Amino acid sequence: MSRWPLLLLISLTSACSWFDGDEETRPAELVDIENPIRIKEIWSKDFGDGSGDIRLGLLPTVGKGKVAAADAEGDLATGDAETGKLIWKIKTDHPFSAGPTIVDDRILIGSREGAILAFSLEDGTELWQSPVSSEVLAPPVAQDGVVVIRALDGRIFGLDESNGQRLWVYDRGVPILTLRGSGRPLVRAGIVFFGTDDGKVVALRIADGTVLWEQALAASAGRTELERLVDIDGAMAIVASELYVTGYQGRVAALAVDSGRMLWVQDMSSHQGLAVSRTQLVVTDADSSVWALDRRSGGTMWKQDVFKNRQLTGPEIHEGYVVVGDSEGYLHWLSLEEGTQQGRVKLDSEPIHLPPLVKGDILYAMSAGGHVGAYRIVTE
C-alpha cells in the first residue's frame, strides 16, 4: 500500500462531534461586557470566498503597506493596509490552501494540488510555481533567499526564492492518524523551526536543510490511534534564546533555541498555538479555554473558561490585550493581566478559524467566508 492512502486526516472539531451530544457541544452563550473598550472598525471587505469549512491555512498577510488575501477558489487580491481599498485582484486556476505570504516584492502561496506559487506584489503577475509532494496547509516562510514549505505528508522543502527551484528536502513522514492542519514553520537567524505530527520539534539549517537538533515534546501513548494524537500544529514563538511551542494532547514547553533542551514544561493540550508578551505566554487549549502562563517558569497566571465549545482560534496580542476569534464569527479582547473580557466585535456570520494578525496598532482578521476586517483600539 502506498504511503499517502494510509493517512487519515481529521479536523479536531469533527473528531469531537463523534462522541459528544448536542448539549455538550453547544457554544457557550456570550454575556454583556461592562464598560467595554472602544474598538473601531477601520474597514471591512470581502476578499473572495474564503476557505469555507475545509480549514485551510488561508490567512491575510500585511507588508509593504498592503494587505493580501486569497480564497480556496483561486482568487488573490491586495488592498491598502490602512484603508482596505482594493489595489488589484486576479482569478487563477489554482485551489489555494495556505498563505499568502509577502516576501520582498512577491506574494507566496500554497495550493491543495501540491504546489507553491509566486506572484508579483505590484500587479499579481505569476512569477513561478514549484511542485511539492502534497497539499500545503502551512503558509510559506522565507529568509536569506530560501522559501520553506511544509507539505501535509510531513516533508519540508527549501526552494530558491527567485525561481522556485528545489534546494533541499527534509522527509519526516506522518503517523497513520493525524489532525488536519500544519503549523507554520518559524525562521530566525538562518534556522527554521517546526513541529511534527508525531510530537517533535525540529531545527534545520535553512541554507541546506541540515538537521541541527530535534526534541520530543510529547510521547504518543494510548490504546487507540485517536488517543495517540500528539500533533504540533499551532504557532510557535521565539523570545531571546527561548522557543515556545504547544502540542495536542501534550504539553506547552520552553526550549533552548540553540540545542532544543527543555527549559520548562506544562501539561496542556492545544492545537491552536500561542502568543507571547514580555512576561506572559498566552495559549488557547483544546477546550477553548484561554490561559496565561509565566513565560519564565510556565506557571499559571490566569485562566478564562467562558468560551466553552466556541472553537477558539489561537491568540494574538493587540495593544496590551489578548484577542481570539470563534466559531460564530466574533473577535474577543481579553485583559492581558487578568483574562477578563474587555471587548467584542462581530466580524462575520461565518466562523473564524485562524488567529488574527497584528501589524502596528491594527488587528486584521479573516472569516471562513473570506471577509476581512481591520480594527484599532480607541484610547481617547
Q: What DSSP assignment string belongs to 254-272?
A: EEETTT--EEEEEEE--SS
Instruction: Give CA separation, 316 vs 27, 73, 206, 219, in Å.
Output: 21, 27, 26, 28
Residue 365 to residue 271: CA distance in whole angstroms: 19
Mean pLDDT of the chain: 87
Interatomic CA distance for residues 351 and 342, integer angstroms: 21
| Strand ranges (E), 47-103 | 57-58, 61-63, 66-70, 75-80, 86-91, 96-103
% of the chain at pLDDT higher than 90: 70
CB 136 within 8 Å of CB 116: yes
> pLDDT digits over 266-307, tens only?
888 777 789 999 899 999 988 899 999 999 999 999 999 999
Hey, what domains does the chain have and what are their CATH numbers? 4-378 (2.130.10.10)
**How far apart are the C-alpha atoms of 306 and 30, rounded to whole Å?**
8
Q: What's residue 146's pLDDT?
A: 97
Q: Please report which helix (H) or strand (E) contains residue 23, including its range.
A: helix 22-25
For position 371, what pLDDT does the model report? 94
pLDDT class for 195, splitting at 50, 70, 90?
confident
Distance (Å, whole) CA 250 – CA 220: 9
Phi, psi of 14 (to 5 degrees): -65, -40
pTM of the predicted protein model: 0.88
